């Protein structure tokens, strides 16, 4: 049996404000019908699981025609933007990494990333535990107030 090489890409809202995350993907994957979220506290504990958000709190839009996803992330929430089999991801432009552009908007302004910037702005961190497998790195983008 081989090692599990799936890795989460997450956005952590460390601010005291609601942020809006909008991203373009190469294609909409089955299961993208709702985002996955959890609190930072849960994310940092060993007993956590991804949840579908309350639509009234974390409103989201899945535009299958234009391959766009938009979701609101509450303060101190973590949003799983995608999971990738990292061993099969050889380079950014591989279709396994589906995010073409990413825009994060908050009260202080917006951050817009495209192409290689998207992939390169996620920091790889090995935590003491992982929802996927023990000591698996997670790719994290931290949104903080400016």
Q: Which domain holds residue 17?
A: 6-143
SS3 readout for 30-91 = CCCCCCEEEEHHHHCCCCCCCECCCCCCCCEEEECCCCEEEEEECCCEEEEEEEEEHHHCCC
In the numeric block, which tokens belong to residue 49? 């699981």
In a domain, 54, yes or no: yes
Average pLDDT over residues 117-128: 78
131 belongs to a structural domain: yes
User: Quick one: pLDDT at residue 143?
Assistant: 85
58-87 average pLDDT score: 86
Residue 76 has, within 13 A of its CA and on its CB side, a CA count of 6
Is 99 part of any domain?
A: yes
Number of structural domains, the chain? 1
Q: What is the pTM of this model?
A: 0.82
Assigned domain for 88 exists:
yes
Residue 1 lies in a domain: no
* Residue 44: both structure tokens together: 């940092």
Among 48-62, 97-111, 116-130, whose mean pLDDT is lowest? 116-130
Task: Look at residue 6 and tell me whether its pLDDT is greater than 80.
Answer: no
- Res 90: pLDDT: 57
Q: Is the pLDDT of residue 77 over 80?
A: yes
């Amino acid at each position: 049996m081989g090692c599990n090489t799936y890795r989460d890409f997450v956005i952590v809202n460390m601010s005291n404000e609601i942020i809006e995350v909008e991203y373009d993907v190469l294609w909409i994957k089955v299961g993208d019908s709702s985002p996955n979220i959890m609190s930072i506290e849960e994310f940092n504990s060993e007993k956590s699981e991804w949840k579908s958000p309350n639509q009234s709190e974390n409103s989201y839009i899945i535009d299958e025609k234009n391959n766009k996803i938009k979701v609101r992330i509450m303060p101190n929430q973590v949003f799983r933007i995608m999971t990738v089999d990292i061993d099969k991801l050889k380079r950014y432009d591989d279709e396994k990494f589906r995010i073409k552009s990413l825009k994060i908007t908050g009260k202080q302004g917006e951050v817009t990333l495209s192409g290689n910037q998207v992939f390169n702005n996620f920091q790889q961190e090995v935590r003491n535990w992982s929802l996927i497998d023990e000591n698996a790195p997670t790719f994290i983008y931290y949104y903080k107030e400016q």
